[in-house]
Amino acid sequence: MQESIIKTEYSDLMQKSYIDYAMSVIVARALPDFRDGLKPVQRRVLYDMRELGTTSDKPYRKSARIVGDTMGKYHPHGDSSIYDALVVMAQGFKKEVPLIDGHGNFGNIEGDGAAAMRYTEARLQKITEDAFLADLDKDVVDFVPNFDETEKEPSVLPVRIPHFLVNGSEGIAVGMATSTPPHNLGEVLDAAVALLDNPEITDKKLMKYVKGPDFPTGGIIINADELPEIYETGTGKVRVRGRVAIEKGKGGHVLLVITEIPFTMIGQGIGKFLSDVAALSENKTTQDVIDITNQSSKEGIRIVIELKKDTDVENFKNMLYKKTRLEDTFGVNMLGIHDGRPETLSLKEILKANLDFQYDLNRRKYETLLKKEQDKREVQEGLIKACNVIDLIIEILRGSKERAQVKKCLVEGDVTGIKFKSKESKVMAQQLLFTERQADAILDMRLYKLIGLEIDALLKEHEETVANIYRYEDILEERASMTQVIRQELLDFKKKYAAPRKTEITQAEEAVFTIKEPEARDMLFVMDRFGYAKLLDEASLERNREAIEQDFVYYFPVKSNGKVCIFTNTGQLHTIKASDLPAAKLRDKGVPIDNVSNYNSGTETIVLATSQSDLNLYRLLFATAEGMVKVVDGGEFDVTRKTVAATKLSDKDEVAGVRVISGQQYAVFGTKEGYFLKCEIEQLPYMKKTAAGARGMKLSKGDRIEGVYVLHPSDSGQIRFHEKDLNIASLKVTGRGGKGSKLKK
């Protein structure tokens, strides 16, 4: 055989392969069909349960049996995906109308998963039998080969309700995702009837019936004004709040009780909500919470938040709406498979797609029923005719040798080989001319059928058959008649299965709340040489001045709602909220500065710590190790960010010191080699914090500034420098930029 090599562009091959893969995922895995509202795995599970006979009136079957059978016959993609689909269809807190009746642990609203499939059992719900699987024996849908062509499966289930809307769906495909909220069954059926009655009805008028999503978890939809656009476009965002009640607690405390949650909080969302409320207390956003407990049970949701007596409850509720998922957004994208392609449809288009499917189902159903009744009429007319000439037929039977001979006589009038009592009988036998089906029925008829009552019953049954034929022909020929049939079916389903709406729909203002600021108190910030900091009562300084001066490197007054500013040798400013520091006693350890700020004790050294309120009043003197100096307005460091650059540094340079100028007249810079320069502060350049500064002192090679001081004219000037006691007040005042002079002990 001659070898054939096909050359193709690699990118074209990859593109085609990826598109094929994407469409396979979109159509055969992730997206539901608008006709039955089911994904393939859901459709296969329900069909398999029907085939297994696990109907609502039969005992439960092990889920593992259902999953295994579905995987082996129809869905070879792993048991976990099949079991997950089965579980979700049985969870009443996820589905408006559960399709499967689960027995055992099928998970709960708080996120606990279902038990393993070997422990749980399931069977079909009654509505699933009536509305999803009822007419599969009437050739209403096409059957296609399964994955290995050993079985047949329906390409779509004959669903009699707009299930795509009723139970909604979520799925992620390749490059697209569907997210449809559940809706109230009664409302959707009313809308479908309205569309049947008036095909020109608009989406807006359909919303007279479909008010909006109806979540199994209840809740309150608060953006009613945006719903019309969502249903006209098929996309948008629904804002949902939990339902909150207020009760009286012990000791006059207020109990905020959450009885319904947003649909998006199903699962781990409840645990996240509890931790979020606790975090609001821990970070001092609110100080009204005494306790929070989750008292939810199978009877329903009950989350209780105990509040202080004087709590502004409305403000607290609004804070929960803004800061937690008690108010959340459900993204709507009503995407599904329509005519074999993924499309996003409006409310009317979704209902129309389902109703068009209903017309097709009913056409095929009544064609099958009509054919069945026509076959029945043919047999009945043959039996009635046979009863009128029963003596002749008996004569034919007695004169024949075999069944085939009798049948040929009845159908073709062939009397060859048959013995008759008279010529008249033979002539009459040649004129019978029954159909083959009639002849078989006559030959199979039992003698008791000749009883008078049986003949009367046959005549009555024939009348009913003829009436059915006329009715079925009318339904098939007159669209109005078929419309009436579909309409009545929808109304019957509503009467039998509809339930009251759970989710309230309203138009509410955006939640606004104010944070109650705690009353500011005067405190004393202290930090030891190991970087542990805390807040002391302001009076501690007077009572323990000596101990504080001895034990702490930094101590200064600060407001309890103020900030502490930490300047480091790397030119960074780290701010710390005083409220993040523990209010402690003198001998308590405190917390490392690293834990409450971005300061890193491993790579930085603190050159100044002060309160931000002081900075707003004064100026700051900056000096770097390489001799650059500047004066900066302290107000520039009133920042909201936790870390900002306090000055600009050249490579290998660092901040040698930062000093607060609160009326001092002189600045003194001391170097590693013992040179000191004293100058008037007013001679130093006044710059922005982003500037590098100007040359403040001339340094010898290898020398660097290590000490920065500010002095009043009356200050003694005694300092400790390189283990020596020096007096810098005696230094001669010179200009900026000199080398300075050495001080003797």
SS (H, E, C) 198-259: CCCCCHHHHCCCCCCCCCCCCCEECEHHHHHHHHHHCEEEEEEECEEEEEECHHHCEEEEEE
Token pair belonging to 572: 């960074």
Q: Which residues have C-beta within 8 Å of that of residue 352, sequence separation ≥ 6? A: 195
pLDDT at 262: 93
Residue 592, H or E segment: strand 591-592
Token pair belonging to 478: 């007159």
Average pLDDT, stretch 207-211? Answer: 95
pLDDT at 426: 76
Q: Does pLDDT of 23 surpass 60? A: no
Report the side by side order of strands in the sheet with 554-559: 554-559, 522-527, 532-537, 591-592
Q: What is the pLDDT of residues 708-738, one digit of tens each?
A: 999 998 888 888 888 888 888 888 888 888 8
Task: Give the integer Cα–Cα distance in Å for 526 and 556.
Answer: 7
pLDDT at 253: 86
Task: Give the integer Cα–Cα distance in Å for 489 and 477.
Answer: 19
Strand pairing category for 177-180 and 341-344 = unpaired
Sole residue written with tokens 């491993």: 602
The b/e string for 19-31 (b: 16+ C-beta within 10 A; e otherwise) is eeeeeebbbebbb
Q: How confident is the model at residue 99 (pLDDT cuts 50, 70, 90)?
A: very high
Task: Give the integer Cα–Cα distance in Å for 471 and 479.
Answer: 13
The ranges assigned to domains in the chain are 38-158, 243-325, 360-496, 522-742
CATH for 38-158 is 3.90.199.10
What does each C-alpha distance from 451 to 157, 388, 390, 668 come to in angstroms? 45, 13, 12, 133
Contact 646, 567 (CB under 8 A): yes
Q: Which residue has the higher pLDDT, 330 or 31?
A: 330
Sole residue written with tokens 């809740």: 219
pLDDT at 444: 77
Q: Does pLDDT of 171 surpass 80? A: no
pLDDT at 450: 61
CATH for 522-742 is 2.120.10.90
Q: Which long-range contacts (CB under 8 A, 24 or more apart) does 92-96 make?
A: 92/216, 93/216, 93/217, 93/266, 94/216, 94/266, 95/167, 95/182, 95/216, 96/166, 96/167, 96/168, 96/182, 96/183, 96/184, 96/185, 96/214, 96/216
Among candidate residues 18, 21, 47, 119, the one labeled active-site is 119
Contact 414, 408 (CB under 8 A): yes
Q: Does pLDDT of 139 surpass 60? A: yes
Closest of 465, 402, 389 to residue 433, by C-alpha:
389
Average pLDDT, stretch 526-536? Answer: 91
Q: What is the pLDDT of residues 252-270, one digit of tens each?
A: 889 999 999 999 998 878 8
Report the side by side order of strands in the sheet with 243-248: 243-248, 254-260, 303-307, 289-294
On average, the pLDDT of the chain sits at: 88
pLDDT at 340: 83
Secondary structure of 560-574 in the HEC alphabet?
CCCEEEEEECCCEEE
Task: Give the integer Cα–Cα distance in Å for 653 and 741.
Answer: 23
Beta bridge mates, 169: 180
Strand pairing category for 504-505 and 220-221 = parallel
Beta bridge mates, 558: 523
Average pLDDT, stretch 621-632? Answer: 94
Alpha helices (H) along 74-182: 79-90, 126-131, 163-166
Superfamily of domain 360-496: Topoisomerase, domain 3 (1.10.268.10)
Task: Give the integer Cα–Cα distance in Å for 53 and 82.
Answer: 18
Q: Does pLDDT of 175 surpass 70? A: no
Task: Give the integer Cα–Cα distance in Å for 243 and 506.
Answer: 13
Q: Which residues have C-beta within 8 Å of that of residue 48, sequence separation ≥ 6? A: 66, 69, 70, 73, 74
**Amino acid at site 416:** T
Q: What is the pLDDT of residues 573-602, one digit of tens each?
A: 999 999 888 888 888 888 999 999 999 988
pLDDT at 645: 93
Closest of 301, 322, 361 to residue 510, by C-alpha:
322
Contact 155, 126 (CB under 8 A): no
Task: Give the integer Cα–Cα distance in Å for 217 and 503.
Answer: 8
Beta bridge mates, 344: 335
Task: Give the integer Cα–Cα distance in Å for 600 and 531.
Answer: 10
What does each C-alpha distance from 77 to 17, 65, 84, 247 come to in angstroms? 20, 16, 12, 51
Q: Which residue has the higher pLDDT, 646 or 5?
A: 646
Q: Which residues have C-beta within 8 Å of that of residue 679, sequence separation ≥ 6? A: 666, 667, 696, 733, 734, 735, 736
* Domain pair 243-325 / 522-742, same fold: no
What is the CATH T-level fold of the domain 243-325, as seen in this structure?
Answer: Gyrase A; domain 2 (3.30.1360)
Q: Helix count (H) and strand count (E) of the chain?
A: 22, 35
Strand pairing category for 572-577 and 606-611 = unpaired
**Amino acid at site 318:** N
Task: Give the integer Cα–Cα distance in Å for 16 and 1.
Answer: 29
Q: How confident is the model at residue 517 (pLDDT cuts 50, 70, 90)?
A: low
Q: Which residues have C-beta within 8 Å of that of residue 722, sequence separation ≥ 6? A: 674
Residue 48, H or E segment: helix 40-52
Task: Give the integer Cα–Cα distance in Å for 10 and 385.
Answer: 75
Q: What is the pLDDT of residues 428-462, one digit of tens each?
A: 877 887 888 888 887 877 766 666 567 788 888 88
Task: Give the integer Cα–Cα distance in Å for 137 and 73.
Answer: 19
**Amino acid at site 414:** D
Task: Give the integer Cα–Cα distance in Å for 558 and 579.
Answer: 11
- Residues above pLDDT 90, as percent of the chain: 56
Q: Which residues have C-beta within 8 Å of that of residue 7, sequence separation ≥ 6? A: none
What does each C-alpha distance from 355 to 35, 183, 191, 264, 359 come to in angstroms? 8, 17, 11, 30, 6
Sole residue written with tokens 């407001």: 559
**Amino acid at site 23:** M
Task: Give the integer Cα–Cα distance in Å for 56 and 103.
Answer: 12
Q: Does pLDDT of 228 surpass 70? A: yes
Active site residue 666: no
Task: Give the integer Cα–Cα distance in Å for 135 and 489.
Answer: 13
